Amino acid sequence: MYKENVRCVVLADRHHALMEGMRGLLETTFDAVVMVADEVSLLESASRLPVALVVVDLSLRSGDGIGMIRRFRARFPKMKMIVVSVLDEPSVSKSALEAGANGFVLKRAIATDLLPAVDAVLAEQCYVSPGVMRYEG
């Protein structure tokens, strides 16, 4: 099992290749990178591991991404969350942040935006990919 001082990140996406890319970016920042492909596994991992951050695909739960964020936030009010999405409309990022996400990264910009998003969110700041209009909330 994990030690208490281990910093863990959970990646939740149905696209394995994308998760592998994110894992490659994050494995030098975190002690453990856990990859899951559904909401149930995300919730279980967050419950039993020393998770510092979750990075979750907005479309992990088809048609109910915002609801998924709300459910996660209700269960883990202090855990940091970055949402990734192919959707670049400002209303989508705004809805994700209002539902409880701490950051929003466009999938097409993961290579350039994920690490700055992680740094910002772990420093208690909100982050939105520059490709999306900033949300002032």
Neighbours of 77 (CB within 10 A): 8
CATH assignment at residue 14: 3.40.50.2300
86 belongs to a structural domain? yes
Q: Which two tokens stand for residue 115?
A: 């690490």
pLDDT in tens, 63-121: 789 999 999 999 999 999 999 999 999 999 999 999 999 999 999 999 999 999 999 99
What's the confidence (pLDDT) of residue 84? 97
Inside any domain, residue 136: no
Q: What is the CA radius of gyration of the chain?
A: 13
- The reply to whether 67 falls in a domain is yes
- At 34-75, the pLDDT tens digits run 999 999 999 999 999 999 999 999 998 777 899 999 999 999
Q: How many domains are contained in the chain?
A: 1
- Can you give the pLDDT at residue 6? 62
Please answer whether residues 84 and 106 qualify as being in contact, where contact means their C-beta atoms are separated by less than 8 angstroms. yes
Strand order in 103-106's β-sheet? Answer: 32-36, 8-12, 51-57, 80-85, 103-106, 127-128
- Residue 106 is part of which domain span? 8-128
Residue 135 lies in a domain: no
